[in-house]
Chain A
Amino acid sequence: MANIITRRSTLMLGASAAAATALGASPGAAQIQRAAVTPPSWPIESGATLRMLRPVRFVQPDEEVFRANCARFTAQTGVQVRVDFVGWEDISQQTAVTANTGAGPDVIIGFNESPHIYVDKLVDQSDVAEYLGARYGGWLPMAQRYGKRHNSNTWIGIPFGASGGPLVWRKSAVNAAGFQAPPEDHAGLLDLCRKLKAANKPSGFALGNAVGDGNGFANWLIWSFNGFLVDPDGRVAINSPETIAALEYLKQLYETFIPGTVAWGDISNNRAYAGQELWLTSNGVSLYFSLKNDPATAAIAADTEHTLMPKGLASASPMAGLTLNAMTFRHSRFPNAAKSLIAFLMEAEQYDPWLQANLGYWSQPLANYGASAVWTSDPKVSVFRDTMKSDYWLGYKGPISQASAAANNEYIMVQMCAAVAAGQSTPQQAVREAERRAQRHFRAR
């Protein structure tokens, strides 16, 4: 999918991007407040060209607007930018190769923990972050967590956005069960799920090897009981009364689920929900849009509501999202050009159209973009606006590291929950097994 942006393709891209934004909400950018902060000067190296890697789009306008933004950067600075769009499953490996060989792209927009793993190979981006933070009302809590090096104020990544997975539910079914909206407490949620099951309109959450949905639900469950996998120093702390209580609760909740959730992948709940077999689950905004855009399922979309995951015992809804995290490599010969590009892409003229093009799939890391037209374009996506206001992250409460990423990708939390739900283990056995596996990843090296 490599594409070298030339002057000729710039014109075409600009035209298609203009068409894309015209189709979407109002062109915007005007309502985004910005403080009068002078940008730091990054004298662009002569003859600079940049290569960038980022994950493939969710929706077509994402790519078009992104390319158009880079083309505008080229037009203003003369720096050629080549953007390669990489499959989601490959970007971590390509980042690893880039970091280890010291060759390849200057800038990579990776996922979540990548800058924390390759911190020694990255350019300090504190000046970019401080400028953007001052200009756009400050970085949201999750953005600070992912952008800054652990226990320091050094920015190693510039978060571009995050995608969350709140509760997705059918208004008709929840109302028929006697609830205006899903309750915020555990007992209330259990009551709702029991009534949904009795009405033969069951709920269900992925407990299979599903990186996004499975971890999302398992993390919510443990965090909403104030349990956590590792403490702030990175020591395994899953074996706690809070976790046991969460798993005991799950045993009751699981009885109300639609059968088969232990075998669910990331797509299974989308299919079951679209097939009207599932009436309450958690998912990203993609489910809603796929229903809305298909005339056959538009009625389901009209009956669909999003709310944040129940708080349970926590003070805020426990939810961590998938985060885009941009890093600049030290091997880049043009670090100033790279910083300029990242700052340029985060400016309202570029970032707001991109946010709108993504329809709510990605949620902003900077506070002032909360006023973007995308969040009022459809009232049902407004819940995604505050995805990065969350105080949780993947690997909560420990440092973000290779270990926290591995624990996530090894489904340690999901499988602990699934083993209890399926009746294979007692909560105590499952917690000990999770502890044993986590200790391997979080061991000192």
Chain B
Amino acid sequence: MQQAGAPARWVPEKREQTWLAWLFDWKPFLIVICLMPAVGLLLVFLTYPLGLGIYLAFTDATIGRSGVWVGLENFIWLAGDPIFWGAVFFSVFYTGVATVLKFALGLWLALLLNNHIPFKSFIRAIILVPWIVPTVLSAIAFWWIYDPQFSIISYVFVDVLGWRDTNIDFVATAWPARWSLIAANVWRGIPFVAISLLAGLQTIPPSLYEAAMLDGATSWQRFRYITVPMIMPILAIVMTFSIIFTFTDFQLVYAITRGGPVNSTHLLATLAFQRGIPAGQLGEGAAIAVSMIPFLVFATLFSYFALARRKWQQGESND
């Protein structure tokens, strides 16, 4: 930052530029070169499988047979397939109920953890455990918990307390099985929500609360007018991720019920796998997987636009 009145500027010795140096100084080329690895990875590992999946959805490929283009035939069959619509219903229901419960309980937990309590860091670390444990392991634990014969809960109620005569029916009829799976998913998902929201809570400047307290705001008003608006951006992001993870859940359902009893707990992901791999109907499985895309796009747009559309979040002042 030389001042105007300074002595004559130092001029670097002009060197002969090689074509290579010139090329690397040329911005468009540099951009292409720098983006290439990332774009290449995305194309090979994301775009190609996704494109192949969408292509397969329009063929009648099976395992061992490449199949021919059949247009919308798979989708027309699915439109008349009650098992598919059952999976659509349960996917939406599962995602909706589990997300509401996860956010209600997760926010509550985050607010509790945001207070000064003894062993704060230790407790924060511990509540992450359900989320850290590999899903398959916790799914197998729930599989045992929900077992028709050997459920620990049934054991406590029947053999220890003597409150019931028969084992509790967790997964052998449709509605209990659905609620059992939602409970397992909520148990697994709460830590992610709680820790993410806790991070959001800790970014809220204490001065806002102090000012509000001086103005005589009640704790509900402080929550409603300071906490909620301030964590809304992170809430929107966390909710987007949570909805995507829940809607595409596979492991819990596959390990606990395999979509049973009689297909009442199939999610779109488990049904797509069941039809595509064990049954070998690759085209139909791909069609089911592709039909998840509109739901996911809608859910993403909803949480983005419904929850994060505040001007101040985009650097402008609020109305």
Residues of A within 8 A of B (CB): 92-93, 95-96, 99-100, 117-118, 208-209, 211, 258-265, 268, 271-272, 275, 277-278, 402, 405-406, 409-410, 415, 418-419, 422, 424, 433, 437, 440-441, 445
- A424 to B171: give the CA distance in the assembly, Å: 15
A118 to B65, CA, bound (A): 9
B196 at the interface (CB under 8 A from A): no
Cα distance A211–B60 in the bound complex, in angstroms: 24
Our pick among A96, A265, A271, A445 for the contact of B258 (Cβ within 8 Å) is A265
Cβ B280 vs Cβ A259 within 8 A: no
Give B82's nearest chain A residue, CB to CB: A433
Q: How far apart are the CA atoms of A326 and B303 in the complex, in Å?
A: 54
Q: Contacting A263 at CB < 8 Å: which of B77, B261, B277?
A: B261
Known: A208-B261, A422-B261. A410 touches B279 (CB 8 A): yes
Does the CB pair A92–B63 fall under 8 Å? yes
* Contact in complex: B260, A263 (CB < 8 Å): yes
Q: A258-B149, A262-B172, A262-B173 are in contact. Are A405 and B258 (CB under 8 A)?
A: no
Q: List the interface of chain B (C-beta within 8 A of A).
A: 60, 62-66, 77, 82-83, 147-150, 166-167, 169, 171-174, 177, 257-263, 274-275, 277-281
Of A118, A268, A278, which one neighbours B64 at CB under 8 angstroms?
A118
User: Contact between A440 and B77 (Cβ–Cβ < 8 Å)?
Assistant: yes
* Cβ of A48 to closest chain B Cβ, rounded Å: 27
* A-B contacts besides A441-B281, A445-B60, 18 pairs, CB < 8 Å: A92-B280, A100-B64, A100-B66, A208-B258, A259-B169, A260-B148, A260-B167, A260-B172, A262-B262, A263-B171, A268-B148, A277-B149, A402-B65, A405-B280, A409-B279, A415-B263, A422-B172, A424-B262
Q: How far is the CB of A375 from chain B (nearest CB, A)?
A: 33
Contact sample, A vs B, 21 pairs, CB 8 Å cutoff:
A92-B63, A92-B280, A93-B277, A95-B64, A100-B66, A258-B149, A260-B148, A260-B169, A261-B148, A262-B260, A263-B177, A264-B148, A268-B147, A271-B150, A406-B281, A409-B278, A409-B280, A418-B260, A418-B262, A419-B262, A424-B174
Whether B63 contacts A96 by the Cβ 8 Å rule is yes
Q: Is the CB of A117 within 8 A of B279?
A: no
A443 to chain B, nearest CB (A): 9
Tell me the smallest distance from the CB of A193 to a CB of chain B, in Å.
Answer: 17
Name the CB-closest residue of A to B176: A263
> A422 near B277 (CB under 8 angstroms)?
no
Q: How far is the CA of A262 from the CA of B169 in the complex (A)?
A: 11
A424: B residues at CB distance < 8 A: 174, 262
- Identify which of A117, A277, A402, A418 contacts B261 (C-beta below 8 A): A418
Q: Kindly name the residue among B167, B169, B279 whose own CB sees the greatest number of chain A CB atoms within 10 A.
A: B279
User: Which are the 9 A-B pairs with shortest beta-carbon distances?
Assistant: A260-B148, A209-B258, A262-B261, A263-B172, A96-B64, A409-B278, A263-B171, A260-B172, A406-B279
Q: How far is the CA of A8 from the CA of B258 in the complex (A)?
A: 45
Q: How far is the CA of A311 from the CA of B108 in the complex (A)?
A: 61
Q: A263-B257, A275-B150 are in contact. Are A422 and B173 (CB under 8 A)?
A: yes
Inter-chain contacts of B257 with A (CB < 8 A): 209, 263
Within the assembled complex, what's the spacing in Å between the Cα atoms of A44 and B95? 61
Residue of A nearest to B177 (CB): A263
Q: How far is the CA of A437 from the CA of B263 in the complex (A)?
A: 13
Of chain A, the residue at the smallest CB distance from B166 is A259
Whole-angstrom CA separation of A93 from B262 in the bound complex = 25
